[in-house]
Chains A and B, each alone.
Chain A
Amino acid sequence: MIFGFLGMTYEFKWSVLWAQPHLTWLIDGLLTTLRLASISWCIAVLLGIVFGAMRTIPFRPVRIVATAYVEFFRNVPLLVWLFFWYFGAPEAFPEPVRQWFIHHGIEFWSAVAGISVYHGARFAEVIRAGIQAIPRTQLEAGLSSGLSVVATYRLIIIPIALRLIVPPATNESLNLLKNTSLAMTIGVAELTFAARQIETYTAKAVEALTSAALIYLVFCLSISSVMNWLEAKFAIPGLIVRGTRAEH
């Protein structure tokens, strides 16, 4: 009815989604997306913690290096980065190394490189904001207790910062999962690619793309509910003000 209003005639055929080989494509695509997202996420969080902390250290050269990394990588669209990592970066390696990469999933690893470095820059900003939200007095107290700068960061500042940044970090994690769909432009057969594949083979665009949308939705909702649970479980009482719950 609604599609009639738009001037198109369309017949729905949801069975294309679970007909073989379409179902295999969707499942393979989903597994590739999850693999890509989880590996990239781990690297991105690591890069984010390192560079985010580096931006707050009271030593200028270190801060400059970290700022350069963040500004350089987050200000270029991810799609452009993916093309760079796939078509540009491999050319810098010697021929035998390149050949090895080519025969060991260069598309996948270029996508991992692009996504993790880009999101590493974004995580760095999130973590920097978390660290800077902690009063300077904590650092001074740590230093005056005899801890070194590194130990103060490791034992006091970063654990508190990690708790503070759970909401924006969840946001960035969801962005990372969704950005894995861009990898299809460099030939990675992930979920969006699989949905487009079904669409071009069967011309049933609505069914194919709805299935991809629903799968992304389910995963994103799962991630955010896990993060909410994490936030509640590791909360330091009295540290983060909760608006609704009354304190006894």
Chain B
Amino acid sequence: MKRFGLTLILSLFVLSLAATASAQAQPTLEKIKNSGVFTIGVRNASPPFSFINKQNERAGFSNDLAELVHKEIEKKLGKQVKLEMKETSPATRIPLLTSMSVDLITETMTDTRPRRDSVDFSLTYFVTGADFIVKKGSPIKGTKDIAGKRIGTQQGSTNERVLREKYTQAQLVTFPDQAAAFMALQQGKLDAYCNDAIQLWGLKYKSATPDQWVVVGDWISYEPYGFAMRKNDSDFRAVVNNALMEAIEGGEYFKLYEKWFGTKSDVPYPMNQTFKTFLLYQVVPK
């Protein structure tokens, strides 16, 4: 019995050594080619970027851009690839990415330098900043008024970090996701909810009573959105960036922007001229 146990351990050890010799972190394009599936990380309740709409389908600006990346991958690999969407949240998305459950995070992830230690980012496809949403008539108009007030954020978000580091007098209450935090705000358990401005506009317009909510304050942080992928994967990163550059150059990006942020959309948000210039300058020549 003892002999058997020893043999088992030794053989596992040898097996793992052999496996290490042959296997390395598999490049994403190879993984997609072998499995035939491209998995993206999306959100359930972050309109208008990534959410589940009234018809119970996944939709959103980020989701649509991810479809363009999907087509580019199919073009590059020369075969059909299935697009799968998996729900992620600020706290879970990086572990899901590094454990290979998800190939690309395409929801509302801010590109920051500390995060670049763990993941790589694509081009910036949207810029915004953190803001507050409050009930109409609330005395909170900006960061001067939040001392001692209960401010909600999502666990693991950049907004939580900014409030924790720069605005220590605010009483921070964190929730696993936006849906829980917004419900707490609606029930009066929070005085304000802090998230990226564009998402707050999305929340306001998608809520049952848009007139009851006001987005206040100047941006307290700079939040550039990018798609996140595993580190040291230049081929995959080139494909993702090519897809985004094609979309910006060919006009597809602006069509999608009009669809989700245009005057007839649910969340009207005219494109800033500086942002448009920034987008166009990101497109390197063919």
Contact = CB atoms under 8 A, between A and B. Distances in A.
A242 B7 CA distance: 38
A5 B20 contact: yes
Given A7-B26, A102-B188, A1 B155 contact: no
Contacts of A91: 187
Contact of B16 (A2, A99, A184, A203): A2
B94 to A, nearest CB: 6
Interface in A172-189: 184-187, 189
A9 interface: yes
Given A8-B98, A102-B150, A196 B155 contact: yes
Contacts of A189: 174
B95 interface: yes
B180 interface: yes
- In the complex, which of the residues B24, B26, B98, B183 has the most CB atoms of chain A within 10 Å of its own CB atom? B98
A189 B172 CA distance: 10
Contact of B188 (A2, A10, A98): A98
B155 A107 contact: no
A1 B161 contact: no
A185 B98 contact: no
A84 B255 CA distance: 43
B17 A201 contact: no
A106 B189 CA distance: 8
B175 interface: yes
A87 interface: yes
B19 interface: yes
A225 interface: no
Interface string A185-212: 1110100010011011101010000000
Interface residues on B, range: 20 to 34
A9 B17 contact: no
A1 B23 contact: no
B90 interface: yes
B262 interface: no
Contact of B155 (A9, A99, A200, A203): A200
Interface size class of A (residues with CB under 8 A): 20 to 34
B114 to A, nearest CB: 8
B10 to A, nearest CB: 15
Contact of A1 (B20, B25, B187): B20
Nearest to B118: A203
B100 interface: yes
Nearest to A99: B188
Contact of B156 (A90, A98, A99, A200): A200
Interface majority SS (helix, strand, loop, mixed), chain A: helix
B161 A4 contact: no
A188 to B, nearest CB: 10
Given A7-B25, A102-B189, A187 B20 contact: no
Given A185-B180, A196-B156, A203-B94, A5 B19 contact: yes
Choose among A7, A107, A200 the residue with the greatest number of B CB atoms under 10 Å from its CB.
A200
Contact of A4 (B24, B118, B155): B24
Nearest to B90: A200
A48 to B, nearest CB: 30
Contacts of B95: 199, 205
A5 B16 contact: yes
A1 B19 CA distance: 9
Given A1-B17, A187-B175, A9 B25 contact: yes
Contacts of B23: 4-5, 7
Contacts of A201: 114, 161
Contacts of A98: 188
Contacts of A7: 23-26, 100
Interface of A: 1-2, 4-5, 7-10, 87, 90-91, 98-99, 102, 106-107, 184-187, 189, 193, 196-197, 199-201, 203, 205
11 contacts: A7-B25, A8-B100, A87-B183, A99-B188, A184-B155, A197-B155, A197-B156, A200-B156, A201-B114, A203-B94, A205-B95
Interface of B: 16-17, 19-20, 23-26, 90-91, 94-95, 98-100, 114-115, 117-118, 150, 155-156, 161, 173-176, 180, 183-184, 187-189
Which 8 pairs, one residue from A and one from B, show the smallest C-beta to C-beta distance?
A200-B156, A203-B118, A4-B20, A5-B19, A187-B173, A5-B16, A205-B95, A9-B25
